[in-house]
Amino acid sequence: GQQVMQIPQYQHVQEGEDFTTYCNSSTTLSNIQWYKQRPGGHPVFLIQLVKSGEVKKQKRLTFQFGEAKKNSSLHITATQTTDVGTYFCAGGTKAAGNKLTFGGGTRVLVKP
């Protein structure tokens, strides 16, 4: 079945620094979504990418969908303490009726 892998599992970041988390799928995706889950909270939708090579920005967050639509990345610049949480990617495939398969998440810890 479809697998979605995220690396790294944990990301320790100094406040003010940049970092990137990566998402890789074993199959070609129809779309990829990113969610953020704060400690003790629930996943909250951030963004959806559907086109090959698509890049979208939300303030300090930049999301990219790979040309082959099998990988994605989330880059955060000038990390702040409010960025703490776990970032999940979730991919859908047409063959699976666009059912989302979630990656294991990248847990981000920020050092002030």
Helix (H, G, I), strand (E, B) or coil at 44: strand
User: Residue 96 has what DSSP assignment?
Assistant: G
When asked if residue 88 is in the footprint of other proteins (CB under 8 A), the reply is yes
In the bound state with other proteins, the residue whose beta carbon lies nearer, of 41 and 53, is 41
Whole-number Å distance between alpha carbons of 23 and 29: 12
Contacting other proteins (CB under 8 A), which of 21, 43, 66, 108?
Answer: 43
When asked if residue 8 is in the footprint of other proteins (CB under 8 A), the reply is no
In the bound state with other proteins, the residue whose beta carbon lies nearer, of 79 and 90, is 90
**What DSSP string runs through 51-112?**
STT-EEEETTEEEEE-TTSSEEEEEESS--GGG-EEEEEEEE-GGGTT-EEE---EEEEEE-
Strand partners, 45: 35
When asked if residue 102 is in the footprint of other proteins (CB under 8 A), the reply is yes
Contacting other proteins (CB under 8 A), which of 74, 100, 108, 110?
Answer: 100
Contacting other proteins (CB under 8 A), which of 14, 50, 67, 80?
Answer: 50
Residues in contact with other proteins by the rule CB under 8 A: 4, 30-31, 33, 41-45, 48, 50, 88, 90, 92, 97-105
